[in-house]
Amino acid sequence: MASAAEIAKRAERENIRGRWLLSAPALVIIFIAAIGPLFVMLAYSFMTKGDYGDVKPVFSLDGWFSVFFQRDIFDDTLSIADAHLSIIWRSVRLSVITTLATLALGFPTAYFIATRPRHTREMWVFLVTIPFWTNLLIRTFAMQQVIRNEGVLNTGLRALGIIDQPLQIMYTDWAILFGMVYVYLPLMVLPLYASMEKLDFRLVEAGYDLYASRLAVLRRIIIPLVKPGIVAGSILVFIPSLGAYVIPRVLGGGKNLMLGNLIELQFGSGRNWPLGAALSITLMAVVMLALMVYVRNAARSGAGHG
């Protein structure tokens, strides 16, 4: 005879087995078409490049090596791979500027929404949500129509007499920057709003009672209270900016590449799959690092608020 405890234990085991079976389809699909291929790519980064793309199954560190260094084709001397490093540096720089610019625009916007009367807030949030769910390519294309030489911006500035020659924005870093700020702005506003909505204005009032100026209240009370939203928004903007591919491809010129385009190049005309794989893993590592910072920060602020 099995005891009651044993029966309960068996039921529990069966319950858990059932739960694994139920989640199996989702786990298997994600393994086949998302996680598994990343491991294959990791393996590819340690192989020898093939003559016409693809790889030869021979171990080599050349892929990783050429992320940072290049070998001179004539005398075999080594030098730092300026081209790669400058593209990586441009990606990081543009992503940081995009994050700061979306924060500068998004913070006041989220605050504005959070201080509207309750019944109109939903409408303002909806207005931010619509661009968020609009196809990224369409939004990039829409930005192109604003900043191109005969676009709305140049036509407007010329009509106002501010400029007489159109500003060449397309195919420059500025175009990529405008595109990324525009496309990722909702990703900053939404988490910021989520934390500002919970802001306790009695604390703000207490600040004014103690003769704080508006700026002091903003710096010493509001910003520290909504810090989790600032961190979440910054991470949500920074990560896709760093991996941007469509925006620089459409708005940037041939020379104005970002990391995503450099990766594509290795799988296209560059025909250097191990290098492309190594670059991809580098990008993924940076993103994981940013996410870890975020999770640690979220855990700490969660613990602080109980």
Partner 1 sequence: MARWGTRRFDIRVQPGFGTIALFTFALLYLPIVTLVVYAFNGSDSLSSWGGFSLRWFADAARNGAVQDAALRSFIVAVLAAGIATVAATMAAIATTRTAPYRGLGFKYAFINQPLMVPEIVTAVALLIVFSRVKVWTGYSGLGYLVLAHTAFCIPFAYLPIRARLEGMDSSLERAAADLYATPWMAFRRVTLPLLRPGIIAGFMLAFVISLDDVVITEFVKSGGQDTLPTYMLGQIRRAVTPEINAIATAFLALSVLLVTVFFFINRRKA
In the region spanning residues 162 to 221, those forming contacts with partner 1, defined by CB under 8 A, are 182, 185-186, 189, 201, 204-205, 208, 214, 218
97 binds partner 1 (CB under 8 A): no
Query: What are phi and psi for residue 99, nearest 5 degrees?
Result: -60, -45
How many Cα atoms occupy the beta-carbon half-sphere of 100 within 13 Å?
Answer: 5
108 binds partner 1 (CB under 8 A): yes
Q: How far is the CB of 83 from partner 1 (least distance, A)?
A: 18
Given a contact cutoff of 8 angstroms between Cβ atoms, the answer to whether 69 and 297 are in contact is no
Closest to partner 1 by CB, 78 vs 200, is 200
Could you give the CA distance from residue 263 to residue 67 in angstroms, rounded to a whole number?
A: 11
For the range 275-281, what are the long-range contacts, defined as Cβ-Cβ under 8 Å and sequence gap of 24 or more?
A: 275/49, 275/62, 275/63, 275/66, 275/67, 277/41, 277/42, 277/44, 277/45, 277/63, 278/45, 278/63, 278/64, 278/66, 278/67, 279/67, 279/84, 280/41, 280/45, 281/41, 281/42, 281/45
Tell me the CA distances in angstroms from 254 to 92, 108, 173, 267, 296, one per residue in order.
19, 36, 11, 17, 39
Q: How far is the CB of 1 from partner 1 (least distance, A)?
A: 25
Kind plus residue range of the DSSP H or E element containing 68: helix 62-68
Q: How far is the CB of 11 from partner 1 (least distance, A)?
A: 13
27 binds partner 1 (CB under 8 A): yes
Considering only 8, 11, 35, 299, the residue that binds partner 1 (CB under 8 A) is: 35
Using DSSP's 3-state secondary structure scheme, residue 79 falls into strand
29 binds partner 1 (CB under 8 A): yes
1 binds partner 1 (CB under 8 A): no
Considering only 1, 5, 33, 159, the residue that binds partner 1 (CB under 8 A) is: 33
**246 to 285, contacts with partner 1 by CB under 8 A?**
246, 249-250, 260, 263-264, 267, 273, 276-277, 280-281, 283-284
Of 35-43, 64-72, 77-85, 164-172: span binding partner 1 (CB under 8 A) = 35-43
Site string for partner 1, 120-159 (x = CB under 8 A): --x---xxxxxx-xxxxxxx-xxxxxx---xxx-------
Q: How far is the CB of 296 from partner 1 (least distance, A)?
A: 15
49 binds partner 1 (CB under 8 A): no
**67 to 96, contacts with partner 1 by CB under 8 A?**
none
Considering only 112, 163, 253, 293, the residue that binds partner 1 (CB under 8 A) is: 112
Measured distance between the N- and C-terminal CA atoms of the chain, rounded to whole angstroms: 47
239 binds partner 1 (CB under 8 A): yes
Q: How far is the CB of 2 from partner 1 (least distance, A)?
A: 22
Could you give the CA distance from residue 64 to residue 233 in angstroms, rounded to a whole number?
A: 32
52 binds partner 1 (CB under 8 A): no
Could you give the CA distance from residue 156 to residue 168 in angstroms, rounded to a whole number?
A: 14
Q: Is 302 exposed, middle or buried (0-12, 13-18, 19+ CB in 10 A)?
A: exposed
Of 63-71, 72-80, 104-112, 163-171: span binding partner 1 (CB under 8 A) = 104-112
